[in-house]
Amino acid sequence: MARKDGPLVISVINMKGGVGKSTISALLARHGAIRRNLDVLAIDLDPQANLSQALMHNSYGQFLTDQRASIVEVFNGYLPPSPSSSGPSPLGPDDAVEGIFEWEDRSLDLIPARFDFSDNLTNAIRPDAKALARFIAANFKDKDLIIIDCAPTESILTHAAYHASRLLLVPVKPEYFATIGFPLLAQSLTNFRRQNRGHKIEVAGIVINNGFYHGGNNGGPEKTQAMADIRADAAKNNWHMFKHEIPFSRGFPKKMRGDFSYSGNSDMFSYFANEFFKSIGM
Ligand SMILES: Nc1ncnc2c1ncn2[C@@H]1O[C@H](COP(=O)(O)OP(=O)(O)O)[C@@H](O)[C@H]1O
Ligand SMILES: [Mg+2]
């Protein structure tokens, strides 16, 4: 169901780990394909490969064993010699893409990461920060939505995500040090915009994750203070805050492992997802 303007590309980012970037990337990608009828591509830009594991579950092990192409080959720009090829070969549009889900006219695909991703990129030659944007531009015109899960530290990969993205989604956990990554993100965005003047990149919004136990503990004074800090910093940067929070739920880690037997409050994710998709016009 290709969009007239091509896919909307959005990176899930925060210069802080453990805030739910990978969880939210996986859930939004699934929600987009399954509930919103969208053709979705998810891209794992974190060498820890949490998004890949969350979408591929048990088949991620086989993917590693088979040494199938991944985000590493996207940055390299070719497939290495293998038993079936006598030298390097061109990277085709379907190489490095794993099918996760397909139904009628929509699908969810993934460009997975590998644990050696960071070694591979920091070796000798500096990787090309525009390689990912180029690969997307050449091969994924027909997708509706592309979701990129970012690593927490600023690196060449952050710039690769920026080059490919129109929007950023920033998950935050309302606890002490919640806003520690905000000045880093604001500064890094300012620098990127200065160096890439033709590129419109914006923060779609901040989403509060893992902040309260629905029906029980509301987070207490710690959360109240953190929320005040987050609101103040969001206002300072002119960043929107989504109204619906994502609650704490043991259902989230379970779903990431591929166990859908218990959802609990994780079903409340759809309140945020609906608000998010409405805000991006999908
Ligand atoms: N809303 C939530 N409720 C309960 N656990 C959560 C929630 N969001 C994330 N988690 C858990 O917190 C940990 C960090 O989440 P993750 O998505 O990997 O964060 P990041 O990608 O930002 O490092 C994971 O174990 C994940 O299952
Ligand atoms: Mg992650």
* pLDDT tens-place string over residues 54-80: 999 999 999 999 999 999 999 999 999
CB of 163 closer than 8 Å to CB of 170 = no
- The alpha carbon torsion through 264, 270, 271, 274 (nearest 10 deg) reads 180
CB of 277 closer than 8 Å to CB of 36 = yes
What's this model's pTM, rounded to 2 decimal places?
0.96
- Ligand 2 centroid distance, CA of 175 (Å): 18
For residues 45 and 35, give the distance between their C-alpha atoms in angstroms, rounded to a whole number.
25
Residue 106 placed within a domain: yes
* Strand 167-172, strand 202-208: pairing: parallel
In Å, the largest CA–CA distance within the chain is 63
Specify the pLDDT at position 125: 58
Residue 2 placed within a domain: no
- Ligand 1 atom nearest residue 253's Cα: 27
Specify the pLDDT at position 268: 94
**Residue among 252, 262, 263 to mutate when testing ligand 1 (max atoms within 8 A of CB):** 252
Nearest of 48, 52, 50 to residue 62 by alpha carbon: 52
Specify the pLDDT at position 104: 85
Lookup result for tokens 């919004």: 205
Residue 103 placed within a domain: yes
CB of 2 closer than 8 Å to CB of 146 = no
For residues 120 and 134, give the distance between their C-alpha atoms in angstroms, rounded to a whole number.
19
For residues 231 and 63, give the distance between their C-alpha atoms in angstroms, rounded to a whole number.
42
End-to-end CA distance of the chain: 12
Specify the pLDDT at position 84: 86
Neighbours of 178 (CB within 10 A): 24
Nearest of 173, 152, 198 to residue 11 by alpha carbon: 152
- Ligand 1 atom nearest residue 248's Cα: 3
- Which residues, other chains included, contact 139 with Cβ-Cβ below 8 Å and sequence gap of 6+? 93
The CATH number of whichever domain residue 175 belongs to comes to 3.40.50.300
Residue 3 placed within a domain: no
Specify the pLDDT at position 124: 47
DSSP classification of residue 20: S
Residue 1 placed within a domain: no
Specify the pLDDT at position 187: 95
CB of 279 closer than 8 Å to CB of 33 = no
For residues 138 and 251, give the distance between their C-alpha atoms in angstroms, rounded to a whole number.
37
Looking at the CA of 272, name the nearest ligand.
1
For residues 68 and 96, give the distance between their C-alpha atoms in angstroms, rounded to a whole number.
7
- By CB neighbour count within 10 A (0-12 exposed, 13-18 middle, 19+ buried), where does 85 fall? exposed
Spans in the chain with pLDDT lower than 70: 1-2, 119-125, 211-218
For residues 252 and 247, give the distance between their C-alpha atoms in angstroms, rounded to a whole number.
10
CB of 40 closer than 8 Å to CB of 143 = yes
Q: Which residues line ligand 1 (CB under 6 A)?
A: 17-23, 50, 209-210, 246, 248-249, 252-253, 256
CB of 219 closer than 8 Å to CB of 210 = no
**Residue among 23, 168, 180 to mutate when testing ligand 1 (max atoms within 8 A of CB):** 23
Could you tell me the residue range of the domain that residue 51 belongs to?
Answer: 8-279
Domain count, the chain: 1
Residue 156 placed within a domain: yes
Phi, psi dihedrals of residue 101, rounded to the nearest 5°: -160, 140
Identify the bridge partners of residue 85 per DSSP, sorted by sequence position.
82
